Structure 1
Amino acid sequence: MMERLFERFLFASRWLLAPFYAALTIGLLVLLVKLIQEIGHFATHALEWNESQTILGVLTLVDLSFTASLLIIVMFSGYENFVSKFDHSDHKDWPTWMGTIDFSGLKLKLMSSIVAISAIQLLKAFMDMKSYTDRELAWYVGIHMVFVVSGILMALTDRLSAGHHET
């Protein structure tokens, strides 16, 4: 009896995660504000910028969209994996990937997104090399490589773990 009550209590505690996923919506709104700010900056300087500055502006927009997409993936997949399933029967435009990403897939998508965001930051730094010291560029490359290697190791670990569970 006591064990059953304790298990129900633990199971119900998953709802404590719901405010965390709701808070990510605020992060999404902040990114939207930054996007609008960047679009305004991009549009007002479009005629005076050279090609390199224009590419940097576009990369900033891509970076913001990757980060926003990452938030959506974490919000929906995390909620579905740890809190409760969505009832998507009322939504005819429900994305097919939602509800199919398990925790392992979520980790890999998260790591892939971080690597992509890091790569964009690195590309932005290389496009504007005159603004960075060699040491700063080396740190950008080093940090990016840590993300890449971490992603590869995470994927290998998941693959090995999946192979181990199949036997």
Structure 2
Amino acid sequence: MEKDLTPRAPAALAERWVERVILASRWLLVPFHFGLLVSVAILLAKFGQVTVATLTQTFTLSGKEVIVACLSLIELALIANLLLMVIFSGYEGFVSRLDEHRDAEERLDWRGKVGFGVLKVRLMASVAAIAGVYLLEKIIEPDQTRMQHIAWAAGAFVLFVLASVVLALMERLSERDS
């Protein structure tokens, strides 16, 4: 029996080593998550810039310009939410569980419950919402009346909405079959 285990021992050791390296490689994703956090900070700075610009020009801006500024703020907030959703679910799903010993008030209800399929659907829905806000900006902007820009924005919006619906249907069908 020992003779059978001896030749297999180096193979088993190599297999364990490869598995440990592959498992440890998940930590290579952490810089990506930090990069996404930096992107959220950049969006926050842009959000502040648009807010300050809108506040300082409140009485000189037209109603349409105020609406476009508000839509820009909504768009920035949606993109930041999208990034945070990717950061949370990506980190928790591939790198490490977030600390479970926090206060109940600080915990996010959806954390740990969002699977890859649900995340895909939420991401596509967020992208569709962002495309919808962008379309509204193009329609309302007084200096952007070129029909070609509006047509492209409308086409992108329709495609994102259709993709979101198809992904949601596929996710539901796969859950039903499971």
TM-score, normalised to structure 2, is 0.87
Per-residue deviation, 1:99: 2.0
Question: What residue identity is the alignment partner of 1:114?
Answer: V
Q: 1:122 aligns with which of 129, 135, 138?
A: 135
**Distance in 2 (alpha carbons) for counterparts of 1:162 and 1:100:** 14
1:13 Cα deviation after fit: 1.2
- TM-score between the two structures when normalised by the length of structure 1: 0.92
- Counterpart of 2:153 in structure 1 is 140
Indicate the residue corresponding to 1:4 in structure 2: 16
Counterpart code for 1:78: G
Per-residue displacement from partner, 1:57-94 (whole Å, max 9, x unpaired)?
11111111111111111111111111110013224422
Match runs of 1:10-159 below 5 Å: 10-91=22-103, 92-128=105-141, 130-159=143-172
Quick check: which has more Rg, 1 or 2? 2
Structure 1: gaps of 5 or more residues: none
RMSD: 1.4
- Work out the CA distance in 2 between the residues paired with 1:60 and 1:146: 21
Task: Choose which of 117, 140, 161 in structure 1 pairs with 2:174.
Answer: 161
Equivalences, count: 165
User: How far 1:3 sits from its partner (Å)?
Assistant: 2.3
Quick check: 2:64–2:142 contact (8 Å CA) kept in 1?
no
2-side partners of 1:105 and 1:111: how far apart? 10
Q: Which runs of 5 or more residues in structure 2 are unaligned?
A: 1-11
Percent sequence identity is 35
Q: What CA distance in whole angstroms lies between the structure 2 residues aligned with 1:125 and 1:32?
A: 23
